[in-house]
Structure 1
């Protein structure tokens, strides 16, 4: 399977099923929310001297670091890197999780 194959088969889970879907993947919803909050905190630490792309970058860095930290703390996930892409591998299922995305809300609105 090529690296792009996983992108082609990505699933979009509706919000009402997200918590159950995450739990089935051995991810606690609370860990996801805490990771997002950490990303927001990292982005908010910047001032107007930061580059315009810095808020989105720092938000992503905070989310990735906190989520990998929390997943690793369970003892069931192992942080790893795939050619520079930070991932977490589930030790039992061998699933791989990567936090990679961007849209109109990424970065600074200014």
Structure 2
């Protein structure tokens, strides 16, 4: 059932993308300082979205690496606490009355 929903969503996304490309096929002049390129508007929009997604992913890499490091440290602390707890449970209880 889940795969069927994913396939339907993928087909809808392809159809929306195809219709977007057909509706925005007008050429646009893009000035990249010394370089001038004429591209369809849909290509310019899709490429700018792709560049934005790549830059956002690169910006998040530092945060993800920090979270991975923190996660490792926390797992180490939990393991040490569990080891200490198991050692404390093995110590016999002394009754001094």
TM-score by length of 2: 0.29
User: Quick check: which has more Rg, 1 or 2?
Assistant: 2
Relative contact order (alpha carbons < 8 A, sep ≥ 6): 1 or 2 greater?
A: 1
Structure having the higher helix fraction is 2
